[in-house]
Amino acid sequence: MTSPANDIVLAERHGPTLVLTLNRPDKRNALETAMYIEMERCIDEALSDPTVANFVLRGAGDFFCSGGDLRSLETRAAVPVEERAALIQRLHDLVLKLKYCPRPVIAAIEGGAAGAGASLAFAADLIVAAQGAYISMAYTKAGLVPDGGGSAFLAQSLPHQLAAEIALFGGRLPVERFAEAGVINRVVEPGSALQAALELGQQLAEGARESQSAILQLLDGPGREAFERQLDREKQLMAIALGGPEAAEGIAAFKEKRPPRFPEPQR
């Protein structure tokens, strides 16, 4: 299966592995709703094909994914909170599809993974990242809160203080720091993340595939209800934050390429 070159999500077979590529390299593969829908469609189609053993998720060009496009978020801020929540749910549907996929998912990170892009990477079962790449969740810099399961992934995978530093300050942490914490499986030479992910995919494909599927169910089972509840909390809080004055200032500052001047909280 190979998608046309102008698609926002490319799907290409590499032996037993289906590579899904976020294809907006001019925008560092910033996410939009159509990408969620297309990626879910590709996964569902592939799951009906028993020759697809696993998936690799990557970004076109030299960057994995920069997260949500703040310019599109500005448009969403103008709609009622219920509509904002419904749009966030489309992202969450994709995250759930990736996280609870019955076949292994491998994320291949070059450059960086930011915001909801980091959430997509964390939803994978295995992560390969290039040296010098980074992960960030800079929602607070735009007056927003994590979505896509970002807060759940941080809380489940990292010590509280490190998770709080990432979420509250929104800085860029090198992938090597996440590897030390056991979140990233392989750190490889720049430009080789895809190849390393494909090698893992080939190893998996040569193994007992039904056993792998059963193991994924066991690993995912204990925390699934809690994770889904956290997604609901994220959706509601993000929908509210997106319509607030801090988000308005954060998005305006981003567009104007200046530091934000957040308003004082109302008493």
Instruction: Flag whether pLDDT at 1 surpasses 70.
Output: no
Q: Please answer whether residues 134 and 175 qualify as being in contact, where contact means their C-beta atoms are separated by less than 8 angstroms.
A: yes
Rg (CA), the chain: 18
- How many domains is the chain partitioned into structurally? 1
Assigned domain for 252 exists? no
Assigned domain for 226 exists? no
Residue 23 is part of which domain span? 9-217
Assigned domain for 148 exists? yes
**What's the CA gap between 176 and 130, in Å, rounded?**
9
**What's the CA gap between 109 and 131, in Å, rounded?**
9
Q: What is the pLDDT of residues 161-177, one digit of tens each?
A: 999 999 999 999 999 99
Q: Which of 110, 134, 133, 106 is closest to 121 using CA atoms?
A: 106
Assigned domain for 188 exists? yes
Q: What is the pLDDT of residues 35-70, one digit of tens each?
A: 999 999 999 999 999 999 999 999 999 999 999 887
Instruction: Flag whether pLDDT at 183 surpasses 70.
Output: yes
Instruction: Flag whether pLDDT at 128 surpasses 90.
Output: yes
Taking the whole predicted model, whether its pTM rises above 0.85 is answered as: yes
pLDDT at 4: 46
